[in-house]
């Protein structure tokens, strides 16, 4: 089984994916962003939008090589790995959705799709919180802003509008719930059993902060 966790950046995809993996033995996370980052980094810096220049490629999902590569790798993992595969990835374009999620289903895989949604202000607050403002200013200078966060804010309204469409169900609203409870809800809907969550609030915050730091990007 593949759990595709969709949603805007700041919607909780990555944290939810790591929560499920932590509590579901044998599960693995396969992040399609790694494929996209690799393709993006093949471009010379000036074509990536460095020094204020307009990037040649706004979104790596525009590349057929990304869509095809993601399907090929996930098809291989689903064929060879016995456990649940978890994919935290934002996809809002219907054609791209058909060429990834739809294609994997055509190949015979059991793909369960969930879109994590929240009100605009909730997502913006989460983006500010996960920015680790003081740390980023110390490490990258006072004007340091993760590229992915600034891009996410520009795309936020579009993401929320598109992901609210019926074709992107199952929809899970996360404004007034926690990451562990969202993971529990996904597990129930997918017919999976997670280990009980015995983690205290402080340990949860520290672990989630570590996940967030590992996913900060500046380029």
Number of H helices, E strands in the chain: 10, 5
pTM above 0.75, yes or no: yes
Tens-place pLDDT, residues 180-197: 999 999 999 999 999 998
Q: What's the N-to-C CA distance of the chain in angstroms? A: 33
Other beta carbons less than 10 A from residue 184's beta carbon: 19
Q: What is the pLDDT, as a whole number, of residue 149?
A: 60
Q: Considering only residues 211 and 3, tell me which one the structure prediction assigns the higher pLDDT.
A: 3
Q: How many CA atoms lie within 13 A of 130 on its CB side?
A: 28
Give CA–CA dist 147/192, Å, rounded: 35
Rounded average pLDDT over 163-170: 95
Question: Residues 2-39: pLDDT tens digits?
Answer: 999 999 988 899 999 999 999 999 999 999 999 988 98
Segment 106-131 mean pLDDT? 90
pLDDT at 93 over 70: yes
pLDDT, the chain, mean: 85
Q: Is the dihedral of CA 136, 154, 172, 167 positive or negative?
A: negative
Domains and CATH numbers, the chain: 2-214 (3.40.50.300)
pLDDT above 90: residue 46: no
Quote the tokens at residue 89: 């990835």
Give the Cα separation of 15 and 170 in Å (integer): 18
Of the chain, the percentage scoring pLDDT greater than 90 comes to 60
Q: Are 5 and 116 in contact (CB under 8 A)?
A: yes
102 is written with which tokens?
Answer: 């739809």
Tell me which H or E stretch contains 207: helix 201-214
């Amino acid at each position: 089984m593949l759990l595709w966790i969709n949603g805007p950046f700041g919607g909780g995809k990555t944290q939810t994916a790591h929560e499920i993996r932590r509590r579901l033995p044998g599960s693995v996370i396969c992040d399609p962003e790694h494929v996209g980052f690799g393709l993006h980094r093949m471009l010379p810096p000036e074509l990536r939008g460095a020094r204020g220049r307009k990037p040649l490629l706004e979104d790596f999902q525009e590349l057929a090589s990304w869509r095809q590569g993601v399907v090929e790798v996930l098809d291989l993992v689903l064929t060879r790995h016995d456990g649940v595969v978890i994919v935290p990835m934002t996809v809002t374009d219907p054609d791209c959705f058909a060429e990834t999620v739809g294609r994997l289903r055509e190949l015979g895989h059991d793909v369960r799709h969930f879109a994590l949604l929240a009100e605009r202000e909730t997502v913006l607050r989460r983006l500010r919180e996960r920015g680790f403002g003081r740390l980023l200013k110390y490490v990258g200078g006072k004007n340091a802003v993760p590229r992915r966060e600034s891009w996410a804010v520009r795309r936020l309204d579009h993401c929320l509008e598109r992901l609210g469409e019926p074709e992107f169900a199952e929809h899970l609203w996360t404004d007034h719930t926690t990451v562990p409870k969202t993971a529990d809800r996904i597990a129930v809907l997918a017919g999976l059993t997670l280990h009980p969550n015995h983690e205290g609030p402080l340990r949860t915050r520290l672990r989630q902060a570590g996940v967030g730091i590992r996913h900060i990007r500046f380029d």
